[in-house]
Amino acid sequence: MDGWPLPLSVAVLLSAVVVLVVSGGPFTRLADRLADRTGIGETMAGIVLIGSVTSLPGLITSILGAVEGDAAFAMNNALGGIALQTTFIALADLAYRSGNLEHAAASLPNLLAPISLSIMLATVLVAGSGPQFTVAGTHPVSLLLVFLYWYWLRLSRTVREKPLWKVTQTHLTRPDVPGPESERPGESLRRMWLVFALLAAMVSVTGYAVGQAGLVVAEQTGLSGGVVGALVTGTITSLPELVTVLYAVRIRALHLAIGDIIGGNGFDMLFLTVSDIVYREGTIYSAMGPEVVLVVGVGIILNLLVAAGLIRRQSRGIGFEGIAILVVYLVGVAMLIRT
């Protein structure tokens, strides 16, 4: 890292942007077809397939920050990505001209996700405020986050298969059913998974480049690791979610779009677990300063606004929650810069 000049680091970050944006479209179509062919549904495909792969750059970036001992960079790279990715729902709502996105993609798994994520974010706040101790070098909350993520996925499948209450179907609601592109002549499921793995590997490589370049930017510009993590690397590593969600809206895979964002956010929470494992200066939560606390709080507010929008289900336009999401995020950025 020390040998990277600042201009090269900036060039690497810009190159990563291009790679992540260009690969988003084909990746989204492939995930949509896999959702139909495997029968897992668009929401779970967005959460598990797209959410995990598009989060790989951020995961690698946070790991590099934790290894280098910059806890604020590692944490805010993950948490800043969550906040920004949640605002992508409002942008996707603007792009969806047929109605309100939360209305059209309303489902129990989609409603469960932002509530579960808010619980995970609040757990991080508790970890940072409580006693700092480790078990085998890792804070117990890091393991709890893994359990909460697993339980969320398990509960999502349960409520999808056996819902105890149902979303009212309207003429604007789009059910999660296989689309016309689910079958392509001569395309085997094995080949689809192979292409999926190759795209995931390409995204992972860009994550390493972003992590290295981001640390250089923080070091050579004098900006704090928390600011660079939340606003620079967190933004770049969130670009796959923006591209895939807008592309999913374009092909009318609305549940895939919502699942992409909420799934990516859930996977981003696991960045903290891995970062805590590789962080060697105590628990990563002991280094939670005002910058990290601010970003966590903004993330909780944004996700609860998404849940409110899914419950309210306005018929037209971006809706109250979309406007509120954009305002809260911009105010949060302004406060972070001034912190």
Whichever domain contains 148, its CATH number is 1.20.1420.30
Per the structure, the complete domain to which residue 86 belongs is given by 6-162+188-338
Top pLDDT among 131 and 219 is at 131
Tokens of 272: 């903290």
pLDDT on residue 124: 93
pLDDT on residue 75: 86
Q: Is residue 322 part of a domain?
A: yes
**Confidence category of residue 300, pLDDT binned at 50, 70, 90:** very high
Q: What's the rounded mean pLDDT across residues 17-36?
A: 74
Least confident of 10-19, 295-304, 319-328: 10-19
Q: Is residue 175 part of a domain?
A: no
Q: What's the rounded mean pLDDT across residues 250-263?
A: 73
Q: What's the rounded mean pLDDT across residues 86-90?
A: 83
Q: Which of 92, 22, 60 is nearest to 242 (CA)?
A: 92
Q: What's the rounded mean pLDDT across residues 47-57?
A: 73
pLDDT on residue 1: 47
Q: Is residue 179 part of a domain?
A: no
Top pLDDT among 282 and 41 is at 282
Q: What's the rounded mean pLDDT across residues 17-32?
A: 73
Say if residue 315's pLDDT is above 70. no
Top pLDDT among 155 and 242 is at 155
Say if residue 239's pLDDT is above 50. yes
Using DSSP's 3-state secondary structure scheme, residue 138 falls into strand
* Percent of the chain topping pLDDT 90: 11
Which residues on adjacent β-strands are paired with residue 138?
135
**Cα–Cα dist 158/164, whole Å:** 10
Using DSSP's 3-state secondary structure scheme, residue 277 falls into helix
* Percent of the chain topping pLDDT 70: 81
Top pLDDT among 322 and 257 is at 322
Q: Is residue 153 part of a domain?
A: yes
Top pLDDT among 201 and 221 is at 201
Say if residue 183's pLDDT is above 80. no
Top pLDDT among 163 and 219 is at 163
Say if residue 127's pLDDT is above 70. yes
CB atoms within 10 A of CB 168: 8
Say if residue 30's pLDDT is above 60. yes
pLDDT on residue 174: 58
Average pLDDT, the chain: 78
Top pLDDT among 256 and 306 is at 306
Top pLDDT among 33 and 120 is at 120
pLDDT on residue 327: 93
Total of domains in the chain: 1
The DSSP result for 20-58, as a single string, is HHHTHHHHHHHHHHHHHHHT--HHHIIIIIIHHHHTHHH
Top pLDDT among 132 and 29 is at 132
Tokens of 261: 């964002």
Q: Which of 268, 230, 232, 261 is nearest to 244 (CA)?
A: 261
Q: Is residue 14 part of a domain?
A: yes
Q: Is residue 1 part of a domain?
A: no
Q: What's the rounded mean pLDDT across residues 145-153?
A: 91
Q: Is residue 176 part of a domain?
A: no
Q: Is residue 168 part of a domain?
A: no
